[in-house]
Amino acid sequence: MSGDAAPLLTARCLSKLFGGVVALDSLDLDVFGDDILGLIGPNGSGKTTFFNVVTGIYPASEGEIRFDGRDITNLSTQAIYRSGIARTFQRSRLSLPLSIFDNIMIGNHKRLNHGLWFNLVRRRAFQAELEENVATARELVRIFDAPLSERLLDPVGGIPMIDRRRVEICRSLISKPRLLLLDEPSAGMTGEETRLLMDDILEVKSRFRDLTIIIVEHEMGVIERITNRCVVLNFGQKIAEGTYREVAADRQVQEAYLGME
């Protein structure tokens, strides 16, 4: 996988401090095109912080992030989204009063026309763009769940957790990002729901050829099943890297998780 190809995303000496707390500690990390990279580690080991720094929600305290050969350290969240990185959130951050379609369209911001004149006066042109997007959104949701794709005007607040997760992932995928960051997609779901969602993610991966995924997850079964490579964090540092089997056998990893001396 790694081979000689240049990595899609690299972090070099990346640090993030919150006051005296070191959330990320000189982290070096490479993500290659086509990876499904599992990012694992105990609570508070810096996984979500890493996502927040990559997507520009927090500025990095030190170090550099390159995406597709370009320095994206401390760019605005908007610029990072436009460059092709999309994410989901640990605590599902959908707009509950809005419809499924509206929520997905929020993720398509960079491909919509936001001009006042276009939106208010050229209603025919707007309708054409709208219908095109309805079709795209329906196709995308159908990959996950066919019945759900027929209910795009239902409010998100009224659908079950697994469908909310699906909508959230659709919101991230609709703009055709090159890198997708999934922050604990199984949170709050049953084992069976988690299994279904992972089927969906593998299906998405097989359809979107050049999509790279980083997934933060606590369910080791999920990690074992869908990742091809794992990075283990502890106290903001990388303590192991390799396939799931390799890192699971790693002594340091076992210590971090089980607290063995």
In the complex, the residues that contact other proteins under the rule CB under 8 A are 55, 57, 76-78, 81-82, 86-87, 89, 93-99, 101-102, 105-107, 109-110, 112-114, 116, 119-120, 123-124, 126-127, 130-131, 134-135, 137-138, 150, 152-153, 155, 171, 175
* Residue 87 vs 166, nearer CB to other proteins: 87
Give the separation between CA 73 and CA 55, rounded to whole angstroms: 9
* Residue 175 vs 237, nearer CB to other proteins: 175
For residue 254 the two structure tokens come to 């076992």
* Residue 116 vs 258, nearer CB to other proteins: 116
Least gap, CB of 81 to other proteins (angstroms): 4
* Residue 13 vs 106, nearer CB to other proteins: 106
For residue 30 the two structure tokens come to 């490479």
* Residue 120 vs 258, nearer CB to other proteins: 120
Region of 30 please: left (phi>0), alpha (psi -120 to 50) or beta. Answer: beta
Identity (one letter) of the amino acid at 2?
A: S
Least gap, CB of 72 to other proteins (angstroms): 14
Least gap, CB of 83 to other proteins (angstroms): 10
Least gap, CB of 252 to other proteins (angstroms): 33
Q: Which H helix or E strand runs over 193?
A: helix 191-207
Give the separation between CA 100 and CA 103, rounded to whole angstroms: 5
> 233 with 41: CB under 8 angstroms?
yes
Instruction: Return the C-alpha torsion angle 56, 112, 202, 51, nearest 10.
Output: 10
